Amino acid sequence: MKNHFSAEIIGVAELPPRRTTPGETTLEMIANVARLAMKDAGLIPRDIDGLVVGPQVGETPQHVPATVAEYLGLQPRYADIVDLGGATGAGMVWRAAAAIQSGMCETVLCVLANTRDPAVTPRSPNRNPIREFDVPYGGSGANQAYAMIAQQHMARFGTTPEQLACVPVKQRANAMLNKAAVFHGQPITTTDVLTSPIVMSPLRLLEVVMPCGGGAAVILTSARRAKDAPHPSVGLMGAGERVTHRALSQAPELTTSPIASAVADAYAMAGVGASDIDFLSIYDCYSIVVAMTVEDAGFCAKGEGGAWLEEHDFSIASRLPINPHGGQLATGQADLAGGMGHIVEAVHQLRGTAGERQIHSPKRALVTGNGATMSEEVALVLIGAEQ
Amino acid sequence: MTTPTTTTSIAKPGFVSTRLTTPYWRAAEAGKLLLQECLECGHLQHYPRNLCTKCWSQDLQWKEAAGDASIWSFTVVGIPGHPAWGDEIPYILALVELVEGPRLMTNIVGCAPESVHCGQRVQLRPHRGARDNQTLLQFTPFTRDN
């Protein structure tokens, strides 16, 4: 008898079901049962580097894995949510095994819980920690979080508004070659950025992604089947993921993000370094994210991102083009499209279907995705088919 | 600052707490900031949970913070994330690092927004405004007098 998967189950726990659970929160129940499973497995918390949760934790529906990871003090390299109703538990098990087998992580906690308190309506009161501890101070929305990240970067490293303004300016220039961009044909100058209204100090309007509707999709198949596809296929050389927090007060650091760990893992898996990357398709919801990503991905030293952006050519003529389609700041991105646009652009470039903005025969791309408040980070190293 | 002639009709989000966090907010009403201390490994944490984020021990006790902190980072809010704060701009939203270690979201009050900077020493100044649904654990720049 041979196991198909190389991963094995080493611990389990269950809280005795009760008709009512007055006063308890789902996060507390998750903590209780996770702790029991950890003890059953003979582990300590830092052994756990993967986390799979279900929906409905008495929370907002987004960022559930990050919320649970933060509550438990975990920093998983694989964080997922499975939403298959009564098949969720079973669905979690094979996904956890697949994640382990792929080398993304080694030890995965799969955890589900719900409270039941008929006296409370709605069934899932929104009582997550951000709602309880941040919102009363007028701290809600993404702008305030990224503003605080930018503020500390400027205070620590002397990063200037002019340097950060380069990001939307250079990406608007790239978008001149992308008819699908929201701001196609609308170049801007550094002065335009610096005179745009401050929405949340030190962030100005033109450094912030504009709300859009839209969608994006990607299809993967087996290597065998890819041979019959109409376009040259694009391979996944390496991937890395890291989730560290949900509320900014819980972030391990502000000016180094979990992108650093995610990219390091992706490079290691791919057997490459920053110098092997031909172009960047990186998440750019705010100018500061691009500055921190080029630092965290090893293209310049920590703190030098501002100066590097000022000097660097983003265009397709560059040795290292950045967001050739214009990125989110010039092209736009629907928030629930989850950064997929950066993958779509990287695939077009690597298979040679980018049209007038085609980079000359690129081989490898670094793609990043960033969620919540520089909390949920994924890095991919993509490679084009041999030309 | 001039007093606005019209106030927003939008109410602030209601007070939220759980059975576990009730002592924290009770203490806040009395002007105190409570942390959780792990009796197993000594770790201090905020926000309150039912286990220690370091070792997962559930042997935790409340510990009052001294109320001394420094500004980890901040922003002066121009466009609030929630419209109920529309009348209060510009206000200072900050993450402060307590001398004990944990960090929390708060406001910096009693000073001009342009005077605030990262690393600035601040001290606890609990306050309940007319439109607040709870006592807020705000901070103000440190002086020898207050």
Q: DSSP letter string over A345-378?
A: HHHHHHHT--GGG--SS--EEEEEEEETTTTEEE
Give the DSSP letter string of A41-107: HT--GGG--EEEE-S-SSS-SSSHHHHHHHHHT---SEEEE---GGGHHHHHHHHHHHHHHTTS-S-
Interchain CB contact of A361 with B (< 8 Å): no
Are B50 and A201 inside 8 Å of each other by CB? Answer: no
Q: Which of B56, B78, B85 sits opposite A200 (nearest CB)?
A: B78
* Minimal CA separation from B20 to chain A, in Å: 8
SS3 string, B19-58, reads CCCHHHHHHHHCCCCEEEEECCCCCEECCCCCCCCCCCCC
Interchain CB contact of A137 with B (< 8 Å): yes
Residues of B with Cβ-Cβ distance to A132 under 8 angstroms: 16-18, 21, 47
Q: Quick one: average pLDDT of A277-302?
A: 98
Q: In which band, very low, low, confident or very high, does the pLDDT at A385 lie, cut at 50, 70 and 90?
A: confident
- Is residue A122's pLDDT more than 70? no
Report pLDDT for A106. 98
Report pLDDT for A126. 61
Closest by CA position to A157, among listed A247, A254, A286, A245: A254
Q: What residues contact residue A309 under an 8 Å CB cut-off, 6+ apart?
A: A163, A164, A166, A167, A170, A290, A291, A294
Residues of A with Cβ-Cβ distance to B78 under 8 angstroms: 197-201
Q: In which band, very low, low, confident or very high, does the pLDDT at B3 lie, cut at 50, 70 and 90?
A: very low
CA distance A32 to A125: 20
Q: What residues contact residue B55 under an 8 Å CB cut-off, 6+ apart?
A: A44, A45, B38, B40, B41, B43
Q: In which band, very low, low, confident or very high, does the pLDDT at A336 lie, cut at 50, 70 and 90?
A: confident
**What is the rounded radius of gyration, in angstroms, for the C-alpha atoms of chain A?**
22
- Is residue A317's pLDDT more than 70? yes
Q: What residues contact residue B100 under an 8 Å CB cut-off, 6+ apart?
A: B35, B44, B63, B65, B66
Report pLDDT for A334. 86
Report pLDDT for A238. 97
Are A155 and B73 inside 8 Å of each other by CB? Answer: yes
Q: Quick one: average pLDDT of A221-238?
A: 96
Are B51 and A72 inside 8 Å of each other by CB? Answer: yes
Q: What's the pLDDT tens digit per position in A61-89?
A: 789 999 999 999 999 999 999 999 889 99
Residues of B with Cβ-Cβ distance to A133 under 8 angstroms: 46-47, 104-105
Residues A349/A232, Cβ–Cβ less than 8 Å: no
Please tell me whether residue A120 adopts helix, strand or coil conformation. coil
Report pLDDT for B2. 43
Distances (CA, A) of A224 to A184, A220, A227, A233: 39, 11, 6, 11
Q: Which of B103, B106, B118 sits opposite A137 (nearest CB)?
A: B106
CA distance A209 to A323: 14
**Long-range contacts, stretch A299-303, CB < 8 angstroms, 24+ apart:** A299/A274, A302/A157, A302/A255, A302/A256, A303/A156, A303/A157, A303/A159, A303/A255
Q: What's the pLDDT tens digit per position in B124-140?
A: 999 999 989 899 999 99
Closest by CA position to A170, among listed A150, A193, A154: A193
Interchain CB contact of A32 with B (< 8 Å): yes
Residues of A with Cβ-Cβ distance to B134 under 8 angstroms: 136
Strand (E) or helix (H) holding A191 = helix A190-194
Interchain CB contact of A252 with B (< 8 Å): no
Report pLDDT for B60. 98
Average pLDDT, chain B: 93
CA distance B146 to B141: 9
Q: What's the pLDDT tens digit per position in B112-128?
A: 999 999 999 999 999 99
Residues of A with Cβ-Cβ distance to B105 under 8 angstroms: 133-134, 137, 139, 247-249
Chain A: residue whose CA lies nearest to B12: A136
* Minimal CA separation from A251 to chain B, in Å: 9
- Is residue B1's pLDDT more than 60? no
CA distance A174 to B11: 44
Distances (CA, A) of B78 to A39, A197, A204, B81: 48, 9, 10, 9
CA of residue B18 relative to chain centroid, distance: 17
Which amino acid is located at A14 in the chain? E
As given in the structure block, the two tokens for residue A326 are 């214009």
Report pLDDT for B5. 45
Average pLDDT, chain A: 94
Give the DSSP letter string of A273-304: -GGG--EEE---SBHHHHHHHHHHTTSS-TT-
With a pLDDT cut of 70, the percent of chain A lying above it is 96
Residues of B with Cβ-Cβ distance to A37 under 8 angstroms: none
Q: Quick one: average pLDDT of A310-335?
A: 96
CA distance A202 to A162: 11
Q: Which of B18, B80, B136 sits opposite A25 (nearest CB)?
A: B18
- Is residue B146's pLDDT more than 60? no
Residues A161/B41, Cβ–Cβ less than 8 Å: no
- Is residue A380's pLDDT more than 80? yes
Strand (E) or helix (H) holding A167 = helix A161-175
Q: What's the pLDDT tens digit per position in A340-351?
A: 999 999 999 999
Report pLDDT for B8. 57
Interchain CB contact of A135 with B (< 8 Å): yes
CA distance B90 to B79: 8
Q: In which band, very low, low, confident or very high, does the pLDDT at B9 lie, cut at 50, 70 and 90?
A: confident
SS3 string, A7-44, reads CCCCCCCCCCCCCCCCCCCHHHHHHHHHHHHHHHHCCC
* Minimal CA separation from A208 to chain B, in Å: 13
Q: Which of A24, A35, A140 sits opposite B82 (nearest CB)?
A: A140
Interchain CB contact of A127 with B (< 8 Å): yes
Which residue intervals of A205-318 are DSSP H helices? 223-226, 259-270, 287-296, 305-311
Backbone angles phi, psi at A204, to 5 degrees: -105, 160
Judging by beta carbons within 10 Å of its beta carbon (0-12, 13-18, 19+), is residue A164 exposed, middle or buried? Answer: buried
* Minimal CA separation from B103 to chain A, in Å: 5
Residue given tokens 């390091």 in the structure block: A264
Are A44 and B55 inside 8 Å of each other by CB? Answer: yes
Interface test with A, best of B12, B22, B43, B93 (most A CBs within 10 A): B93
Q: Which of A31, A125, A144 sits opposite B49 (nearest CB)?
A: A31
As given in the structure block, the two tokens for residue A162 are 């002019």
Q: In which band, very low, low, confident or very high, does the pLDDT at A155 lie, cut at 50, 70 and 90?
A: very high
Report pLDDT for A371. 95
Are B81 and A197 inside 8 Å of each other by CB? Answer: no
Judging by beta carbons within 10 Å of its beta carbon (0-12, 13-18, 19+), is residue A374 exposed, middle or buried? Answer: buried
Chain B: residue whose CA lies nearest to A35: B56
Q: Quick one: average pLDDT of A299-308?
A: 98
Q: Which of A38, A73, A139 sits opposite B53 (nearest CB)?
A: A73
Q: What's the pLDDT tens digit per position in B57-90?
A: 999 999 999 999 999 999 999 889 899 999 999 9
Residues B137/B129, Cβ–Cβ less than 8 Å: no
Q: Which pTM value belongs to this model?
A: 0.94
Residues A309/A164, Cβ–Cβ less than 8 Å: yes
Report pLDDT for A234. 97
The β-bridge relationship of strands A364-371 and A376-384 is antiparallel
- Is residue A213's pLDDT more than 60? yes
Residues of B with Cβ-Cβ distance to A127 under 8 angstroms: 16-18
